[in-house]
Structure 1
């Protein structure tokens, strides 16, 4: 395998991760909103969703931290900070890797 093949595989993998990550994070936000709504109405989510909710908490926390990192780092790479932070929140680590590979400094 040469460098061009690896780069091509990486780009395809990044694209797949982005297409999967955006709906999953959106779904996770919806589940979190549903959880908050059930807490305010003194009801409860089905017990089946408790393990999923734990994973959602972890994923949303990780993506939030990555978004904050992108917010502060994007300016150094000549990117719009808020726009890139939102993008990175939804796509995760892929957004940070793309930002760090950006050679516009």
Structure 2
């Protein structure tokens, strides 16, 4: 997928939404851990929310690991780009992987 073909405003919107959702997911998981350690009952109707949240966090974590491994080859800081990719998701990973394609493109 070529990011240059996508509307930049849409990419920025996805980044903002993804970052907001990931911060919310991490906060939700921390709240759940707090509730479990202090024997606070969490409503059972939130179980599906926790499942979706864990899937999102896991997929973004895997993308962050991939970005961390590829970042040095693209002259980027691995930890910095892994954290960026964790919060922005696939868009951040696509940006990292397309750096060479943009640089190699003849004018």
Normalized against structure 1, the TM-score is what?
0.87
In the alignment, structure 1 segments of 5+ residues that lack a partner are 1-5
1:52 pairs with 2:87: no
Deviation string 1:1-59 (CA, Å, 9 cap, x unpaired) is xxxxx835342321111010001100000000011111111222122221111100000
Alignment counterpart, residue 13 of structure 2, candidates 11, 16, 28? 16
Unaligned runs of 5+ in 2: none
Superimposed CA distance per residue, residues 54-88 of structure 1 (whole angstroms, 9 cap, x where no aligned partner): 10000000001100110110000011111000000
Q: Give the TM-score normalised by the residue count of structure 2.
A: 0.85
Q: For the aligned residues, what is the CA RMSD?
A: 1.8
> Residue 3 of structure 1 aligns with which residue?
none
Distance in 2 separating the partners of 1:91 and 1:44: 32
In structure 2, the residue matched to 1:31 is: 28
- The structure with higher relative contact order (CA 8 Å, sep 6+) is 2
